[in-house]
């Protein structure tokens, strides 16, 4: 048996290059279409959290990284001009979508930069960076899925990824996914990274099919691509 796992920075549903429309629902339905075991998402707007289960057919577990300062107007305001409006004003979260066959046993959130205050978020353009870890039961064994989104600064991101790895050091079987924001970054005791900043790494497990990014055509919509990141997927061997 193998477990299909994906990670995707959904860029608040925006396209690349940026256009005047967003496609978040379409993106969530696309990434969950064939019932994967788990999908790690980054940059999900707060207004969408309550809709993810209906869109995906999966169990959503989230960790808020930037609170919503626009309240119920967030979706309306950001959709007026997706190119210019700062999406941090609408808030965002990391989300783990889990196959409904899994029973979630635990969810932990590790804040990698606790020094960032709400003041820093509003006036300094900074974000709280977290690693969420969700444990599920598979055939009587515990499997942990981790989802992180590191700071968009390679030097800082290396430190944050290292802190996240320390946080997960006691997990016997773990799948670590996310936007590392540093290319081809190796994590001690985990499987090797692929090119780019979006990764799926494992420890205590093996790949049935190694990580690879989706080809552009799989996320193309007209002259644009869904998100400025390609989804990455892998199959995890499980016996």
d(CA 150, CA 85): 22
- Tell me what pLDDT residue 73 has: 52
What is the chain's Cα-based Rg?
17
Q: Indicate whether this model's pTM tops 0.75.
A: yes
List domains and CATH numbers for the chain: 2-237 (3.60.10.10)
Residue 147, Cβ density class (10 Å: 0-12 exposed, 13-18 middle, ≥19 buried): buried
Which residues are within 8 A (CB) of 13 and not within 5 positions of it... i.e. 6 or more apart? Answer: 22, 23, 24, 25, 27, 45, 48, 82, 227
Show the tokens assigned to 238: 């499980």
pLDDT at 66: 83
Q: What is the pLDDT of residue 114?
A: 81
Residues of the chain with pLDDT under 70: 68-90, 117-126
CA distance 207 to 190: 12
Tell me the per-residue pLDDT of 110-123, one tens digit each, with 9 for 90 and over. Answer: 998 887 766 665 55
Which pLDDT score, from 0 to 100, does residue 82 have?
53
- 10 Å Cβ neighbour count for 231? 23
> Could you give the residue ranges of the DSSP H alpha helices within the chain?
24-31, 52-56, 74-80, 118-124, 154-167
Residues 15 and 56: their CA atoms lie apart, in Å, by 20
């Amino acid at each position: 048996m193998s477990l299909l796992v994906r990670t995707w920075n959904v860029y608040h549903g925006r396209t690349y290059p940026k256009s005047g429309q967003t496609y978040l629902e379409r993106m969530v339905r696309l990434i969950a279409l064939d019932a994967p075991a788990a999908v790690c998402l980054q940059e999900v707007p707060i207004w969408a959290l309550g809709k993810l289960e209906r869109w995906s057919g999966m169990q959503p577990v989230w960790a808020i990284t930037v609170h919503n300062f626009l309240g119920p107007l967030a979706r309306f305001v950001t959709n007026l001009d997706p190119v210019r409006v700062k999406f941090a004003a609408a808030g965002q979260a990391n989300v783990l979508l889990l196959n409904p066959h899994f029973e979630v046993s635990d969810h932990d959130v590790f804040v990698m930069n606790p020094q960032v205050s709400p003041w820093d978020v509003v006036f300094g353009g900074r974000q709280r960076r977290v690693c969420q870890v969700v444990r599920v039961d598979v055939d009587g064994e515990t499997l942990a899925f981790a989802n992180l989104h590191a700071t968009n600064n390679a030097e800082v991101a290396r430190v944050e990824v290292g802190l996240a790895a320390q946080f997960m050091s006691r997990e016997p079987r773990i799948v670590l996914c996310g936007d590392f924001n540093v290319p081809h970054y190796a994590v001690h005791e985990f499987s090797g990274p692929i090119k780019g900043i979006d990764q799926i790494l494992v420890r205590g497990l093996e790949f049935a099919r190694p990580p690879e990014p989706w080809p552009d055509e799989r996320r193309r919509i007209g002259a644009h691509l869904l998100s400025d990141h390609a989804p990455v997927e892998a199959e995890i061997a499980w016996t």
